[in-house]
Structure 1
């Protein structure tokens, strides 16, 4: 497993635990779920696909703020992964 995928997994587990213990809660605004940053969203997408992950709800998409993709974790939670655009 690549280092970036392992890091993503650790972050998802920490976020899930923090929400479960009441230390954090999902935002009640337009963005919901967990948002993580990466330096290469397309590379991460290819790596996850190569490892058999298929639960993407949005393929990598270009926006004015950068590139992002969305997936669901094994518990069905939405996770958005963002590669911020260059300033």
Structure 2
């Protein structure tokens, strides 16, 4: 589900808009998971854990788009004694 564009420039209002959109999306994800047999509490636990994992990754590398591509990293290692599967 695509998120709506922000309608406000006010930071608090933007947060409230985003929170409402995120809640709607999460409710859809939970309903979809419930339909196939997952419990709401276990889905919520998994979503929270996934959010923390993403938060940790973002803290470690807040702008991964600036990182070299995997292909570049592999090319840089060629000839330096590394072994690849």
Q: Higher helix proportion, which one?
A: 2
Larger-gyration structure (1/2): 2
Q: Higher strand proportion, which one?
A: 1
Return the TM-score normalized by structure 2.
0.29
Return the TM-score normalized by structure 1.
0.28
